[in-house]
Amino acid sequence: MTQDMTPNRRDIVTLTGAAIALAAAPFPLAAKETTPMYGLIGQMMATPGDRDALVAILAEGTDAMPGCHSYVVATDGENPDAIWITEVWDGKESHAASLKLPAVQAAIAKARPIIAGFGHRFETTPVAGVR
């Protein structure tokens, strides 16, 4: 620019070229459209004395679930018949599809007789963490 702060032709061409180059440059993930992940946290109650059997059934039917980032079965420290299941999926659709998998269907059928009920259930949108 000249001393009087009036842009000259060279400055305008340079700034225009820089703006075009910047617009064409790839941006990090934040600029991309992403589908939000889907999370579930739920409490399940086993029939009295069957919590360990329920945990074992749920653990064996959850090996290969496409789109599942995390599936954690945990025992409840205060209730000897309760477990907590925490799941993280790449989307709600993947979770729904998992319920139709033969291994998951078999686990549900095997577990049904020793499921006494369900407690709290929370749907979440995971936004950070270890993958």
Over residues 11-60, the pLDDT tens digits come to: 554 444 444 443 444 434 343 447 899 999 999 999 999 999 999 999 88
Instruction: Give percent of the chain above pLDDT 70.
Output: 72
**Using 50, 70 and 90 to split pLDDT, how confident is the model at 7?**
low
- Compute the C-alpha angle 127/83/45, nearest 5°: 125
2 pLDDT more than 90 = no
**Using 50, 70 and 90 to split pLDDT, how confident is the model at 9?**
low
**Using 50, 70 and 90 to split pLDDT, how confident is the model at 64?**
confident
**Using 50, 70 and 90 to split pLDDT, how confident is the model at 3?**
low
Domains within the chain, CATH numbers bracketed: 38-124 (3.30.70.100)
